[in-house]
Amino acid sequence: MTFIYRLLAVLFFVIALVGVVIPGLPTVPFILLAAWLASKGWPKFEAWLLAHPQFGPHIYNWRENRAIPRKAKWASTIFMSLSAALLVYSNSLVSIKVMVCIILVCVGIWIWSRNEPST
């Protein structure tokens, strides 16, 4: 089982790194997932993530307070809105457009209902 946790931790870390260079692909959720998986089977990798100057604060904010920075809330809202707009003007089925937009609104409400870091 340790091997699976390690494999998934690396996979989600790589996806997070791709998210650094591809606009619209989130980074932090994949870092949080990688850290959680590393905590289950790779303590050294988890410690490295926690000590990382870019990733560590996001992990701590989430673990301590379930906090999402306001900047991240705005970025996610903007990208979800752009995605919804592109979908609305696409050739997709109306039922798909409605369902995806409902999901995006629910995710947005959830994001904005999270705490913000105190610092």
pLDDT digits (tens, 9 = 90+) for 93-114: 999 999 999 999 999 999 999 9
Indicate whether 89 and 37 sit together in one domain: no
Q: Is residue 117 part of a domain?
A: no
User: What mean pLDDT is predicted for residues 2-16?
Assistant: 95
Asked if residues 58 and 32 have their Cβ atoms less than 8 Å apart, the reply is: yes
Q: What is the pLDDT of residue 22?
A: 85
Q: What is the separation of C-alpha 106 from the centre of its chain, rounded to a whole number of angstroms?
A: 15
pLDDT band at 27 (very low <50, low <70, confident <90, very high): confident
Q: Is residue 118 part of a domain?
A: no
Domain extent, residue 90, equals 70-112
What residue has token string 């390690």? 6
Average pLDDT over the chain, rounded to an integer? 92
Angle value at C-alpha 45, between 41 and 46, nearest 5 degrees: 80
Phi, psi of 115 (to 5 degrees): -65, 165
Phi, psi of 16 (to 5 degrees): -60, -40
pLDDT band at 119 (very low <50, low <70, confident <90, very high): low
Indicate whether 60 and 6 sit together in one domain: yes
Q: Is residue 33 part of a domain?
A: yes
Q: Kindly report the pTM of this predicted structure.
A: 0.78
Structural domain tally of the chain? 2
Indicate whether 15 and 61 sit together in one domain: yes
Indicate whether 50 and 91 sit together in one domain: no
